[in-house]
């Protein structure tokens, strides 16, 4: 596995692989890799002959007071894990490589219709930072396909919109949410959970399933089902931000007669802010 910190060197290698006829897949990450990330890497390997994984903790998607400084960084362990998976290249740019004019002067990407709702309500500017860095990584690598996870549902819709609207010739592939045996969606922030909190954390996914089951049974409105899920999470020790049923394609308020739908949730449990979702086909 080759490691690159500069775009110029990475592009030279990518050009050589393309001359050989290889397709390129990109898996963008912020590092501290877990099994969920590695599942994305395996999906990428099924889609292309060469796999590039980027590791960059993007400062522009963290609001003041969030965990940018303390976000877990494990570069050595990450590189070892990627090498075991047969990744062809890891891209570890410094901030100046990603934002050559500095953060204050950086060109930014805004999609208000998708960015200001749900997680955007409590994390203003977050999705603008995500879209901005993903656009830069796509421009740097120029992949044929880029792989993201369904756990970050609102994020993947933002990225799909970005690619479609700006005519970026990269196919976006969204892999199913990777879960622990008890249903908890895998996330680097799960390590913020204390042991007792970790035992309670699967209640978030259970709350989503309760909404989906209630919708299938009929007789209750989406609003009442989501309100009940919020109450259940609060009783379980969470600080819920939202549980909402939305149109799966647009995140518009759900029409229960139409499919597919998605129920999404965000809640704090101790130091951890957990998100999850469940598609209703």
CA-based torsion, 183, 187, 189, 191: positive or negative: positive
pLDDT above 70 coverage of the chain, percent: 100
Q: For residues 93 and 28, is the Cβ–Cβ distance under 8 A?
A: no
Per-residue pLDDT for 178 more than 90? yes
Whether the pLDDT of residue 255 is over 90: the answer is: no
The pLDDT of 181-210, averaged and rounded, is 97
pLDDT value for 126 = 97
Q: In the sheet where 261-269 sits, what is the strand order?
A: 239-247, 261-269, 272-280
pLDDT in tens, 48-75: 999 999 999 999 999 998 999 999 999 9
Question: Of the CATH numbers 3.30.420.40, 3.30.1300.10, 3.40.190.10, 3.40.50.700, which one belongs to the domain with range 188-280?
Answer: 3.30.1300.10
User: What's the pLDDT tens digit per position in 233-250?
Assistant: 999 999 999 999 999 999
126 catalytic per annotation: no
What residue segments make up the domains of the chain, in order of their start? 2-175, 188-280
Kindly report the backbone phi and psi dihedral angles of residue 55, in degrees, each rounded to the nearest multiple of 5, phi listed first.
Answer: -125, 110
Domains 2-175 and 188-280 share a fold: no
Q: To the nearest whole number, what is the mean pLDDT of the chain?
A: 97
pLDDT class of 130 with cuts at 50, 70, 90: very high
Of 34, 37, 126, 161, which residue is the catalytic one?
Answer: 37
- What's the topology of domain 2-175? Rossmann fold (3.40.50)
- Look at residue 231 in the predicted model and tell me its pLDDT: 98
Decide if pLDDT at 149 tops 90: yes
């Amino acid at each position: 596995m080759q490691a690159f910190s500069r775009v110029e060197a990475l592009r030279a290698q990518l050009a050589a692989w393309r001359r050989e006829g290889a397709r390129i897949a990109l898996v963008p990450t912020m590092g501290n890799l877990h099994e969920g990330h590695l599942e994305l890497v395996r999906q990428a390997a099924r889609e292309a002959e060469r796999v590039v994984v980027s590791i960059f903790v993007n400062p522009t998607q963290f609001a003041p007071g969030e965990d940018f400084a303390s976000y877990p960084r494990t570069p050595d362990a990450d590189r070892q894990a990627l090498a075991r998976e047969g990744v062809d290249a890891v891209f570890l740019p410094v901030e100046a490589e990603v934002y050559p004019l500095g953060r204050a002067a950086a060109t930014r990407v805004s999609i208000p219709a998708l960015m200001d709702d749900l997680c955007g309500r409590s994390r203003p500017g977050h999705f603008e930072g995500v879209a901005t860095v993903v656009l830069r990584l796509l421009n740097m690598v120029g992949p044929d396909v880029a792989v993201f996870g369904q756990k970050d549902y609102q994020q993947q819709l933002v990225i799909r919109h970005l690619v479609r609207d700006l005519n970026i010739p990269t196919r976006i592939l969204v892999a199913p949410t990777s879960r622990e045996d008890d249903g908890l969606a895998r996330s680097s922030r799960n390590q913020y959970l204390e042991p007792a909190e970790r035992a309670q954390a699967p209640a978030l996914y259970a709350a989503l399933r309760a909404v989906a089951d209630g919708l299938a049974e009929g007789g209750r409105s989406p609003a009442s089902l989501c309100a009940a899920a919020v109450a259940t999470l609060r009783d379980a020790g969470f600080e819920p931000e939202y549980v909402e049923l939305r149109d799966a394609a647009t995140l518009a308020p759900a029409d229960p007669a139409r499919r597919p739908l998605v129920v999404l949730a965000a809640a704090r449990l101790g130091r951890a802010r957990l998100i999850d979702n469940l598609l209703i086909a």
